[in-house]
Structure 1
Amino acid sequence: MDPHHRSPEYNSLLLAGPRLAPLKQAHARLLVAGHGRSLPLTTKLATLAVAAGAASYARLLAASHPAPDSFLFSSLTRAAAHRGLPAAALTFYRCLLAAALPFSSFAFTSVAKACADLSALRAGTCVHAHAVLLGFGSDPFVLTALLVLYSRCGQLAVARKLFDAIRDRSVVAWNAMISGYEQNGLAERAIEVYKEMQTAGKAPDSSTFVATLSACAQASALDLGCEVEDRIVSERMDMSVFLGAALVNMYARCGLVSKAREWFDLLQERNVVTWTSMIAGYGMHGHGREAIKLFHLMRHEGPPPNDVTFVAVLSACAHAGLVSEGRDAFASMKSVYGLVPRAEHFCAMVDMYGRAGLLDDAMRFICDSIPEEPGPEVWTAMLGACKMHKNFNLGVEVAERLIALEPENPSHHVLLSNLYALSGKMNHVEKVRNTMIKRGLKKQIGYSLIEIGGIAHLFRMGEKSHPKTREIYRYLEELIHKITGAGYVPETDLVLHELEEEEKEFALRYHGEKLAVAFGLMMSAGSTTPIRIMKNLRICGDCHLAIKYMSAVEHREIIVRDKHRFHHFKDGKCSCQEYW
């Protein structure tokens, strides 16, 4: 052991702690006492400097020692990575590399974490190659750190290979794989990994549940979300702010906004994510007044709202026709909170004006309030409003702007084609379709998901791969017959113009939403629980109308979450009040 390791000077260094001024004073005393060449003291002093956020000072200390060792630079790499100084961690790693000193597994795990925090895939790949070269390629800690890196950078195929290569997986490895899939929009895969973890008998922790609940929210996997909630409650798990926010978000996005509010009210600690999730939940369900009320409560009792909060508030106003409230919220962003509006805020404002039928106000806002050239998301919101309020001339102009901005986006061409069809310009419809064929542009395929007994069933238009296809189609035919008797008339406006009216009705009949609802009703005959459907696109007008009738004739609540919001169908009415 270094003779100065427990000297009075060393003890004074410990007392200084991670504060820079006392550290510099302690360093001066060490130099005066002749201990400046002590490597353990230099290592301790430099590590504490990193903890104080002074990475450059720590580097000077390390460089001033005549014989730095591997432990010094590895300690600094680790301290910087865990102090939230990833760039400094990379610098210390390069110092270790330049000094040609031996590497340890914790040096590699630390620098891999730093690369993950920076989303520095290229640097991370070099670290990976270096680790393999030095024989650390099968070290479970290094593999886990690299798995986190590749997951964060969206390289899920590589991440999965590393995950499969780890024999005794830690909970960190499981969590990284679950959150990697979830954060990259692959919620179903995330749920699969969580189930694999259960089968493997590995005990989950709070982070596991946060990632899994987020995946459940994304996939509308309510059954599994409820199972996770039961485990959290039964195991008396500490309700961290992150776990609480995840529960609120899961219930809001799975259609149980009242349950989300129950959890919100129970939580002793709420961060900005918790408040924002609850506001967004109200907005998605069309409860604009409740969203605004909660936003005002947040301003008085909660943390300051951030830019994501304002996106949620403005979207809630847009879906509920609260134009005055939306204007006030948008104005307060800069004047009260000093937040600079982004594209999402401008888009929400245009959507709000547009849905309310204030197309002139929407265009004025685009011209006067958006400092730069409006992006495609703004014009898409404007185009939706033109279609909703049948302003076809303005709609065509907007659609052409969109196509000029993103010529390879098929959805813009589809919207333009729909506008031409609605205005009766069938020759223009044909031109748009021919353009799409020439450019190889294909419309995004819509699908609807329904969860029965914890198993997700997917339906596309005309789906016939389901094992119960024959029964589903028979049940749907009976359902169509019932709602037709109750007054349902198919909305055939947007079906291909060259089809006869009867053929148009046939084309609409087997949309994924209708098949999913029919399957749900068939499999839960005699039940009173709501049918829950998730759709990846906006629900079509005819399905919206048909499902309203289905809720009436079957006396069941049917909840559909589409790309933009929730629709609660009950007794022949929808919660959106046709404002969608």
Structure 2
Amino acid sequence: MKLDAVLGTALIDMFAKSGFLDKAVDIFQRMQSKDVKSWTAMILGYGIHGRSSNAVALMYRMEDEGYRPNEVTFLAVLSACSHGGMGKEAMECFRRMVERYGLLPRVEHYGCIIDLLGRLGLLKEAQGLIERLPPIKRDATAWRALLAACRVYGDVKLGERVNRVLVEMDDQHPTDSILLSGTYAIAGRLKDLGSLQVTTEEQLDAKFKWKSLGKEESRVKEAGCSMIEVDHEWEENIDGLELHATMFPWQKKQ
């Protein structure tokens, strides 16, 4: 059977997501004709199976062979780096995406960086990154990733603040109370669990009543991005991770 780009990519995706990484790799190596989707599918497969280093290495090999990574490719690499705790590699890929290829990061790309910072215990830095994003990119998913990190490290103060933000956004999810409950448990604040349960039930009940009246407006993400002019660049060095103006390509100096 001839493995063209379309068939080969489909097989790589199927085998990788079914737990057969070796078969996905075999298909990829046998393909005589590849395209960007083929490379991206294989990178994603490595990421799914926790092979973060392989995912990053394959992206560089992809470039060496003359293929141009797109937004989805970089998202797959950043996701792999996040789950593998590869901070420096993730920042370099992000910088490469913006500076070399001129790609504008989407909320999903920032979500990977925020998730990575949370996994590394850099909660304040993750919060700072979220707060510097324009509203169109600062969605509930980013805040929820930070809330999950608060649970891991038992940061009650920040966890409560993030939960309040989600309430104000009117974008609550049942997992929010679970994450905050876990944060209390890790911090040894078991007495707060009861009051949290009552508060959450009241909030959800009010929200469902509001929906039943048909007064809730649908929330749709708008395409594009906001342009913000600032008179400074954000440059920090956090445990060797350089978070600078590259993270905010829509910003420009006056």
TM-score tier after normalising by the smaller chain length = 0.7 to 0.9
Unpaired stretches in structure 1, ≥5 consecutive residues: 1-235, 442-580
Per-residue deviation, 1:390: 2.3
Once residues 356 and 256 of structure 1 are traced to their aligned partners in structure 2, the CA distance between those partners, rounded to angstroms, is: 29
Higher relative contact order (CA 8 A, sep 6+): 2
- 1:312 corresponds in structure 2 to 76
- For 1:136-147, list aligned pairs within 5 A: none
- 2:228 corresponds in structure 1 to none
Judge conservation of contact 2:153–2:183 (CA < 8 Å) in 1: no
Once residues 341 and 317 of structure 1 are traced to their aligned partners in structure 2, the CA distance between those partners, rounded to angstroms, is: 16
Once residues 337 and 396 of structure 1 are traced to their aligned partners in structure 2, the CA distance between those partners, rounded to angstroms, is: 39
- 1:349 corresponds in structure 2 to 113
Judge conservation of contact 1:376–1:402 (CA < 8 Å) in 2: yes
2:15 is equivalent to residue 254 of structure 1: no
Judge conservation of contact 2:48–2:80 (CA < 8 Å) in 1: yes
Q: 1:428 aligns with which of 173, 192, 202?
A: 192
2:144 is equivalent to residue 380 of structure 1: yes
Amino acid at match of 1:414: I
Aligned residues: 204
Judge conservation of contact 1:354–1:382 (CA < 8 Å) in 2: yes
Judge conservation of contact 2:50–2:84 (CA < 8 Å) in 1: yes
Per-residue deviation, 1:281: 1.3
Once residues 351 and 252 of structure 1 are traced to their aligned partners in structure 2, the CA distance between those partners, rounded to angstroms, is: 23
Per-residue deviation, 1:266: 0.6
- For 1:58-457, list aligned pairs within 5 A: 236=1, 238-368=2-132, 370-372=133-135, 374-438=138-202, 439-440=204-205
Judge conservation of contact 1:403–1:412 (CA < 8 Å) in 2: no
Once residues 351 and 408 of structure 1 are traced to their aligned partners in structure 2, the CA distance between those partners, rounded to angstroms, is: 19
The percentage of aligned residue pairs carrying the same residue is 37
Amino acid at match of 2:77: V
Change (3 A) 1:296 1:407: closer
Judge conservation of contact 2:111–2:145 (CA < 8 Å) in 1: yes
Change (3 A) 1:366 1:279: same
Pair member with larger Rg: 1
State the Cα deviation string for residues 528-561 of structure 1 (Å, max 9, x = none). xxxxxxxxxxxxxxxxxxxxxxxxxxxxxxxxxx
Amino acid at match of 1:342: R
Once residues 397 and 313 of structure 1 are traced to their aligned partners in structure 2, the CA distance between those partners, rounded to angstroms, is: 30
Per-residue deviation, 1:320: 1.1
Change (3 A) 1:422 1:389: closer
Once residues 307 and 420 of structure 1 are traced to their aligned partners in structure 2, the CA distance between those partners, rounded to angstroms, is: 37
Secondary structure of the 2:45 match is: helix
Once residues 162 and 70 of structure 2 are traced to their aligned partners in structure 1, the CA distance between those partners, rounded to angstroms, is: 31
Once residues 44 and 167 of structure 2 are traced to their aligned partners in structure 1, the CA distance between those partners, rounded to angstroms, is: 30
Task: Give the TM-score of the pair, scaled to structure 2.
Answer: 0.74
Unpaired stretches in structure 2, ≥5 consecutive residues: 207-254
Amino acid at match of 1:254: S
Once residues 403 and 255 of structure 1 are traced to their aligned partners in structure 2, the CA distance between those partners, rounded to angstroms, is: 38
Secondary structure of the 2:135 match is: coil
Change (3 A) 1:399 1:437: closer
Amino acid at match of 2:183: L
Per-residue deviation, 1:440: 4.5
State the Cα deviation string for residues 149-170 of structure 1 (Å, max 9, x = none). xxxxxxxxxxxxxxxxxxxxxx
Once residues 332 and 420 of structure 1 are traced to their aligned partners in structure 2, the CA distance between those partners, rounded to angstroms, is: 39
Per-residue deviation, 1:272: 1.6
Q: Stretches of 4+ moved more than 6 A in 1?
A: none
Once residues 96 and 35 of structure 2 are traced to their aligned partners in structure 1, the CA distance between those partners, rounded to angstroms, is: 20
CA RMSD of aligned residues (A): 2.0
State the Cα deviation string for residues 235-285 of structure 1 (Å, max 9, x = none). x3x433121101111111112222211111111111222111111111122
Task: Give the TM-score of the pair, scaled to structure 1.
Answer: 0.34
Once residues 34 and 170 of structure 2 are traced to their aligned partners in structure 1, the CA distance between those partners, rounded to angstroms, is: 40
